Amino acid sequence: MVAATPRAGGARWAGAVRMDLAAQVLGNAPGLGIFVGRPAEAGNGPLIEGFFPVVARGPAPDGTLFSDAAWTTAEATAAEFFPRLDIVGWYVARRGNPAVLTDAERRTHERWFPDGAQTALVVDVATGAAAEHGRRGGRIRVLAAGALAPPRRRAALPAPAPWRGVAACSLAGTLLGVLSWWAGTL
């Protein structure tokens, strides 16, 4: 999942799915989406093999983030584009502490993701901080936390030229310029 050493029961990621998600959500507007993959087995969390965004027009009347229409569309999208995979969780990209679920996020997970093995990933779009939430002991808890994507490495800058070499080149250029001018005046 998002931590270097996820706790038992945390989601597992197939291939480059986590990096693809990071590319889609980091630095962008807040949004919601669905995870598809293989259900949890033998103490491990679900295997997330894909995801897709969900268009939701504000909170639903029941206080969740998915309206009935948005959920129906999400199920149809999963069935059409990921016919061999199950809905195994969801994500929300927003600004703020990902380790704390809002009331609407908590209600969303309780209503639309009742399976104890389904996961919720909250990502701060500004910092890349992320937290995976899921049910443990009958309550929704943080299962893992960390960065959604590893920090970008900065390219190493070349070592600066020694001052003597710069001074020598500058002096040679000046001498050539003076000689060219003097030769032109003869």
What CATH code is carried by the domain that includes residue 25? 3.40.140.10
Query: What would the two tokens of residue 51 be?
Result: 């995801």
Tell whether 19 is covered by a domain: yes
- Give residue 128's pLDDT: 85
- Domain count for the chain, please give it: 1
Whether 182 is in a domain gets the answer no
> Residue 61: which residues within 8 A CB-CB, separation 6 or more?
67
Q: What pLDDT digit, counting tens, does each position of 80-138 carry?
A: 999 999 999 999 988 888 888 899 999 999 999 988 888 999 998 888 888 899 888 88
% of the chain residues with pLDDT over 90: 19
User: Measuring CA to CA, how many Å separate 133 from each of 22, 119, 167?
Assistant: 17, 6, 60
The predicted pLDDT at position 115 comes to 83
Residue 38 has pLDDT above 80, yes or no: yes
Strand partners, 87: 36
- In this prediction the pTM is 0.72
In angstroms, the CA 109 to CA 177 distance is 75
Q: Which residues contact 146 (CB under 8 A, 6 or more apart)?
A: 1, 2, 3, 4, 129, 130
161 assigned to some structural domain: no
Whether 131 is in a domain gets the answer yes
Q: What is the pLDDT, as a whole number, of residue 8?
A: 46
Whether residue 91 is contained in a domain is answered as yes
Distance, in Å, from the CA atom of 39 to the CA atom of 166, rounded to the nearest integer, reads 63
- Domain that includes residue 54, residue range: 12-147
pLDDT (0 to 100) of residue 185: 64
For 41-92, write each residue's pLDDT tens digit: 777 788 899 999 988 666 778 888 888 888 899 999 999 999 999 999 999 9
As a whole number, mean pLDDT of residues 14-42 equals 81
Domain assignment present for residue 65? The answer is yes
The model's pLDDT over 159-174, given as tens digits with 9 standing for 90+, comes to 555 555 555 556 666 7
Q: What is the DSSP string of 98-155?
A: TTS--HHHHHHHHHH--STT-EEEEEETTT-EEEEEEEETTEEEEEEEEESSPPPPPP
Q: Is residue 175 part of a domain?
A: no
The burial class, CB within 10 Å (0-12 / 13-18 / 19+), for 7 is: middle
**By the 8 A CB rule, do 74 and 53 touch?**
no
Q: Could you report the per-residue pLDDT of 176-185, keeping only the tens digit for each?
A: 666 676 676 6
Q: Look at residue 137 and tell me if it is in a domain.
A: yes
- pLDDT band per the 50, 70, 90 thresholds, residue 7: very low
Q: How far is CA 25 from the centre of its chain?
A: 6
